[in-house]
Amino acid sequence: MNLTLKQFRYFEALARHGHFGRAADACSISQPALSMQIRELEETLGTELFERGARQVRLTNFGEEFALRVRDILRSVDELGDLARASRDRLVGRLRIGVIPTIAPYLLPEIITSLSGLHDGLEIHVRETLTSRLVEELAEGRIDTAIVALPVSEPALTEVALFNEKFVLVRPDADRDKPVPDRDTLREMRLLLLEEGHCFRDQALSFCNLRSARPRELLDGSSLSTLVQMVGSGIGVTLIPEMAVPVETRSAAVSVVHFKDPQPARTIGMIWRKSSPLAAQLHQISDIVRRAGEDVRSREETG
């Protein structure tokens, strides 16, 4: 036989009451049931825990020591229950969130502020990389959720749309007064794009009705920031998501214009494993992220 928590609970009651009948009452069982479990416990241990006197039940020396430890254990076990109850509703512990590079710099500060304000004691890990890798890491359980451009169309993943964001044209400041190009004239221009793998590259190309582009410059490992700086140097033009405008165009000699309808845009959403037990919390979080995105974009409009 093995030690059981039930035996510990009965033992603790008996140690406290010093009386089989009353201890059994306290445990809501019959007195023989308690007797049997105590005997079982003593047999398992190979030692007597109580000295049964005619009129009193006393702990032995060993029983005293045993009681101290058992109380510790029972306390720890009860804490487990509390812990579970606490973590059932609100998100606790670690949240590993992946974000694509064309969103991360603009949205993350807001997200992290909101999340850590609402969920005290939440540890946030951020992973910034391409969608394909995020999906991999999601499948492997290395991150809990990711913020990407939809659709991802992975059957194992849940997708939740957060908001749409338009793409804007960034061109040298000198071009400020030129007319807004349409997608066809855009194709004629020297369009600077991120390296392959970035979804934003594909989205931009698709807007221009291009399947692929032979880049004249290799921009491996570069960022929207780099692109904008290059535009400022008069090398060409580029597209950036509108959320990036305030950050990226502040310190560059560039001008920004919106396209005429139909404007290019993409849907930003959150994804997570369908099997994730965090699903409920992730839905809550998606609301927070949506609000964060709205805040950022409204700041842009007014700023």
Partner DNA sequence: TGGCGTGATAAGTATTTCTTATGATGAACC
Partner DNA sequence: GGTTCATCATAAGAAATACTTATCACGCCA
Interface residue list for a copy of itself (CB under 8 A): 2-6, 44-48, 51-54, 56, 58, 60-62, 64-66, 69-70, 72-73, 76-77, 79-81, 83-85, 87-88, 92-95, 141, 144, 156, 273, 275-278
Give min distance, CB of 34 to a copy of itself, in A: 16
Instruction: Select from a copy of itself, DNA, none the partner in contact with residue 121, using the beta carbon and a kind-dependent cut-off of 5 to 8 Å.
Output: none
Nearer to DNA among residue 5 and residue 86 (C-beta): 5
Q: Looking at residue 122, what DSSP letter applies? A: E
Stretch that binds DNA, among 31-39, 203-211, 242-250, 276-284 (CB under 7 A): 31-39
Q: How far apart are CA 279 and CA 285, in angstroms?
A: 10
Question: Cα separation of 37 and 30, whole Å?
Answer: 11
149 to 5, 101, 116, 134, 240: CA distances (angstroms): 50, 11, 24, 12, 14
- Asked if residue 44 binds DNA (CB under 7 A), the reply is no
**Class of residue 3 by CB neighbours under 10 A (exposed 0-12, middle 13-18, buried 19+):** middle
Are 141 and 243 in contact by the 8 Å Cβ rule? The answer is no
- Whole-number Å distance between alpha carbons of 102 and 240: 8
Nearest residue to 201 via CA among 162, 227, 182: 227
Residue closer to a copy of itself (CB basis): 106 or 272:
272
Sign of CA dihedral 116, 122, 127, 131: negative
Pattern of binders to DNA over 56-95, x per CB under 7 A?
A: xx--------------------------------------
Select from 37-45, 83-91, 184-192, 219-227 the region that touches DNA (CB under 7 A).
Answer: 37-45
Among 32, 93, 117, 141, binds DNA (CB under 7 A): 32
Convert 104-116 to b/e letters by CB count within 10 Å (16 or more is b). bbbbbebbeebbe
Instruction: Tell me: does residue 29 bind DNA (CB under 7 A).
Output: yes
Smallest separation, CB 277 to a copy of itself (Å): 4
Q: Minimum distance between the CB of residue 229 and a copy of itself, rounded to whole angstroms?
A: 40
Q: Which of 43, 44, 51, 52 binds DNA (CB under 7 A)?
A: 52
Round to whole Å and give the CA distance between 174 and 232.
Answer: 9
Is 174 in contact with 233 (CB distance < 8 Å)? no
- Residue 127 is a binding residue for DNA (CB under 7 A): no
CB-nearer residue toward DNA: 15 or 224? 15
Residue 5 binds DNA (CB under 7 A):
no
Considering the complex, state which of residue 81 and residue 303 has its C-beta at the smaller distance from a copy of itself: 81
Contact between 155 and DNA (CB under 7 A)?
yes
| Closest by Cα among 217, 216, 193 to 203 | 193
Query: What's the per-residue H, E or C state across 162-201?
Result: EEEEEEEEEEEHHHHHCCCCCHHHHHHCCEECCCCCCHHH
Rounded to a whole number of angstroms, the minimum distance from the CB of residue 42 to a copy of itself is 9
Interaction site with DNA (CB under 7 A): 1, 4, 6, 19-21, 28-33, 35-40, 52-57, 155-156
